[in-house]
């Protein structure tokens, strides 16, 4: 299930005149926004927009430990991607759905059936 940490605010890194003497804790941006490993990519896009962030920590479904990161670039790449390139992405990465996002945020979702229909229609035309 998707999670979002409470109290998410606009992020502003702390700047120190002697940053090299500090620790990671001095420059990190809490709280962390997370998404579950099996959550839909559209849910990740929604959480990113809501939290005002460009990346989410992906948690393992069984252990709730970090399993990876999903970034805005992973999601928004679909907006200007050709149908043929989208098909390549979906087949090589085993995705059945991709969110379509633009500057205004999440625009929609495309699934493998949509891509197949478009490719078949293009080949027939």
| Residue 68 burial class via C-beta count within 10 angstroms: exposed 0-12, middle 13-18, buried 19 and up | exposed
**Can you give the pLDDT at residue 19?**
52
38: helix, strand or coil: coil
Alpha carbon distances (Å) from 92 to 11, 84, 85? 34, 12, 11
**Can you give the pLDDT at residue 34?**
92
Mean pLDDT in consecutive groups of 10 residues from the start of the chain, 125 residues: 40 53 77 86 83 88 90 72 85 82 72 90 68
**Can you give the pLDDT at residue 53?**
85
**Can you give the pLDDT at residue 92?**
85
**Can you give the pLDDT at residue 124?**
65
**Can you give the pLDDT at residue 107?**
75
């Amino acid at each position: 299930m998707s999670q979002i940490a409470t109290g998410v605010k606009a992020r502003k890194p702390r700047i120190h005149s002697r940053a090299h003497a500090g620790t990671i804790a001095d420059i990190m941006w809490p709280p962390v926004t997370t998404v579950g490993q099996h959550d839909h990519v559209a849910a990740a896009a929604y959480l990113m927009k809501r939290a005002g962030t460009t990346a989410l920590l992906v948690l393992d479904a069984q252990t709730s430990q970090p399993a990876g990161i999903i970034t805005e670039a992973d999601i928004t790449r679909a907006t200007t991607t050709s149908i043929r390139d989208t098909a390549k992405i979906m087949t090589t990465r085993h995705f059945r759905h991709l969110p379509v996002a633009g500057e205004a945020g999440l625009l929609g979702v495309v699934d493998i059936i949509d891509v197949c229909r478009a490719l078949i229609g293009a080949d027939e035309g």
